Amino acid sequence: MRTVSAKLKHIGTSLSSSSRPYSLTPLASSHGKPRNPPSPTLLNEFVNFCYQRDLPKAMNAMAAMERHGIYADSINYSDLIKCCLARNAIEQGKLVHKHVFSNGYQPKTFLINILISMYVKFKLLDEAQALFDQMPERNVVSWTTMISAYANAKLSDKALEFFVLMLREGVLPNMFTFSSVLRACNGLFNVRQLHCGMVKLGLESDVFVRSALIDVYSKLDELKDAICVFNEMETKDLVVWNSIIGGLAQNSDGDEALDQFKRMKRAGFTADQATLTSVLRACTGLALLEVGRQVHVHVLKFDVDLILNNALLDMYCKSGSLEDAKSVFERMFHKDVISWSTMIAGLAQNGFSQEALKLFDLMKASGIKPNYITVLGVLFACSHAGLVDDGLYYFRSMKRLYGIDPGREHYGCIIDLLGRAGKVDEAVSLVQEMECEPDAVTWRTLLGACKVHRNVDLAIYAAKQVLKLDPEDAGTYVLLSNIYANSQRWEDVSEIRRQMREKGITKEPGCSWIEVNKQIHAFIVGDTAHPEIYEINRRLNQLIHKLMGIGYVPDTNFVLQDLEEEQRGDSLWYHSEKLAIVFGLMTLSSGSVIRIRKNLRICGDCHTFAKLVAKMECQVIVIRDPIRYHHFQNGVCSCGDYW
């Protein structure tokens, strides 16, 4: 790309000398007169058939014209090509190509560009490039069509190569060229060079270019640059608003995405499908159910939009509101594989495994072919339901039945399934036979099984594998330290603590969020900042003493074991999810579901606490941690006490 930079430096001086005139005038007869005088009747019939989109008759008329050496206007051929595209008539499109080059006739650049675009839309890139290579004269449309085609086909190097060749030929890029080539950039260095080129050509204020810049900076996780480009615009339109909201939502900056959405509405813009899809994604990431329900009202205007309905379905599933998700799913007029997969995975992740498997059977009966995510949801459901044989069957046959190669996530589900069933040795064998290299998530899954079944030696081995791949994983250090402490291997405990100190690793504080009256309340372990923390602590102490009266005992195995027993018990009392649960009991109306999002996996003691509170207070509690969704009701959790 240094060539791109060099060309762009001199691009301003070549504006007058290198650009060639280009006219969109129709085909003329300057390339040679037809062998016979045109037949007005035959030509008029062809024009009418093209206008009426009557492809068979238009093709017959074109064949007759070719026999008589008659050629029509470029606009008429353009109409015929549109008809071929609408009917996916590839062979007829190729016949049009052959016709306009027959008998030595040479079409104008305008028509050749349309033919190249036709091949691109038919996904025949080799044919498109072959025709492009034969062009006696190429203009910015020719180059941009090819660059866009390669960018859309994820052939980034080819798209960038064509951009450089375009500059070398002296053709100046326009706003559409830059919008296309930016999609091919997968490195910040290239983007910055192109950004400079846009400024030199005076195209940086174009709405399409700005939108493309925001998209690519967001894709590269350079949100500061994306926001800077957005803020530099004096006047903004809906396309640019959608780009910045979408970029923020995709990069898990849901708070800022929602703030920009509010600014957009205050600026007088009406949200469209793209806006609402991004806003729903932000709500999903933040688990903001009430805000998501408000967005649902806007979605009703576009009730038949499949992408939007899928985003709505995903939001409800990931917010733990399965009743709302089922309602949306059942109301959807059209469902694709994403709709089915989202609902199956949502049911499975929320602990409703049998429903997920029944829905999978309905999906197959409907004729929709499962994809990678569908099978993942099915395996997750089998794991949570303890269906070892079924899970292994789907895993072993997914390639044969659905043409899907097992990925790391599928292996992880089966390792989890075997671990739940106590088949730890089989889980180890599966890790060893993985076609792809096990990652940290895979080893953490095995570590979880070893912890539950108290396989100390294997747990230590799995923990060490995790730390090789993710040396900053504080949770694994703490777990490994506690395993050593439980085995009274104090020298090893000291070594783990030394490593943590040297690397500056500290356990991330637990944080829980709860939405009350459309406001988010955050709690951390041992919180003192919340304005109602003293009342929350008082209520929590009362609740814990009531629970102790029915047999609750804090489980100190979930605390870093360098504290005295009494201190460890006290520290458990003020875990963030306990504070959030009590705040929910204090503020939410009777019968409301307490919904909590947590940054760390819920500990065993808090899990027991939530089950007992749900039973004693006749309350439904939903906690979403990074691993699973826990639905607590009547003293039982949907996870089956395995997580």
Residue ranges of the chain with pLDDT lower than 50?
1-38, 561-570
CA proximity to 449, closest of 463, 470, 435, 432: 463
pLDDT at 439: 93
**Under 8 Å between Cβ of 409 and 398:** no
Phi, psi of 314 (to 5 degrees): -65, -40
pLDDT at 346: 94
pTM across the whole model: 0.76
As a whole number of angstroms, the distance between CA 82 and CA 93 comes to 9
Residues 6+ apart with CB under 8 A from 174: 140, 144, 203
pLDDT at 566: 35
CA 459 vs CA 448, 498, 507, 604: distances in Å = 8, 20, 19, 18
Other CB atoms within 10 Å distance of the CB of residue 454: 9
**In the structure encoding, which two tokens stand for residue 494, read together?**
């000291």
CA proximity to 335, closest of 301, 298, 366: 366
Phi, psi of 249 (to 5 degrees): -65, -40
Residues 6+ apart with CB under 8 A from 535: 586
pLDDT at 135: 93
Other CB atoms within 10 Å distance of the CB of residue 298: 17
**Under 8 Å between Cβ of 395 and 412:** no
As a whole number of angstroms, the distance between CA 24 and CA 124 comes to 25
As a whole number of angstroms, the distance between CA 526 and CA 559 comes to 13
Instruction: Calculate the CA dihedral of residues 167, 173, 176, 179 and round it to 10 degrees.
Output: 60
* 3-class secondary structure per residue, 351-387: CCHHHHHHHHHHHHHHCCCCCHHHHHHHHHHHHHHCC
Q: 517-538 in b/e burial notation, b at 16+ Cβ within 10 A?
A: eeeebbbbbbbeebeebeebbe
